[in-house]
Amino acid sequence: MDTRGECRFKTVLVTGAAGFAGRYLVRELSGMGHEVACLDAVPADSAAAADLPGYRCVDLADAAAVDSAVAAVRPDAVIHLAAISFLPEAAKNPGLLWAVNIDGTMHVVEAVLRHCPQSRFVFVSSAQVYGAAAPEPYATKVAEDHPLLPLSHYAISKVAGERFVGACAALRGLDAVIVRPSNHTGPGQSPKFVAISFASQIVAASPAPGQSAKMRVGNLDSVRDFSDVRDVVRAYRLVMEKGIGGEVYNVSSGTMLSMRELLERMLSMRGVKMEIEKDEALWRPTDNCAALSTAKIERDTGWKPRFSLDETLRGIFASLAQEGAV
């Protein structure tokens, strides 16, 4: 094991630790020898916060509470995951989006600069800051210097966060690194997100082989890159430990496919057929995501994805079975 990161970044504060990726990140950091402190807005006695080390319930919109939490921990590094990340929720409640994603980021950064200014700050942004991509064949992969074209409330909030973090790095000495992950999924994600929605419906319907049941879907023409959450949180750790201050890093599996292709793969994996039924509540315009270059993170940290999409999907189905869904 390379212990350089462990020695330099002994204590790591994770914001959004009770969320889907946050819980995986806490396990990743702890497993590699880091001491982890956790911050999120869910109550300390909730199931989502169970077993999280050094947990503090903090509303990021409350600057004083954020300041107090950071002062108490004085971490060697902060990985700032906390955000409103579900696009429909972000669009419906832009005030909450602003309070958490923009004001919240500012509050965390200001507290770090005040109480532990030598700490490394990893800001988790999103590949959505690049905007929509051209249709296939995705001949050109987008590098980190590509112009940004945010097309959603969520993406706009992430660009604003990046700009603030970048300004603090340039003008105030913040040791900041920015990460732009593509879509990621895995066991434990909310059924609001597409892969879990598909899997949950397939499992719940449980059609016999060769028979059909109904599947509610949104826009099957949208194209996404799906990464395994375990690969993504390993990228966050490696960027924290080995990334170059001031740099931006893409994180992506490189597996681009449409929602239709994803659904067909999942149905084939289970050996079932389902009747597709469009649900207007799930519909979003076609907005093909950019294919990302990961050359920089591979060069600087040695990161490469380890899990195939089929391994990720099998894990999702297995987790639903363990939860008693089948």
326 residues of the chain, pLDDT tens digit each? 444 444 689 999 999 999 999 999 999 999 999 999 999 999 999 999 999 999 999 999 999 999 999 999 999 999 999 998 776 676 777 888 999 999 999 999 999 999 999 999 999 999 999 987 544 545 578 999 999 999 888 999 999 999 999 999 999 999 999 999 999 999 999 888 889 988 988 888 765 555 567 777 778 888 888 899 999 999 999 999 999 999 999 999 988 888 889 999 999 998 878 777 776 665 555 466 788 999 999 999 999 999 999 999 999 999 998 775 44
Backbone angles phi, psi at 144, to 5 degrees: -65, -20
Domains of the chain are 4-186+226-254+290-306 (3.40.50.720)
Cα–Cα distance measured from residue 12 to residue 237, given in angstroms and rounded to the nearest whole number? 10
Q: Is beta strand 212-217 parallel, antiparallel or unpaired with respect to 183-185?
A: unpaired
DSSP H stretches of helix in the chain? 4-8, 20-31, 63-73, 87-92, 94-97, 104-115, 153-172, 194-205, 229-242, 259-270, 295-301, 309-322
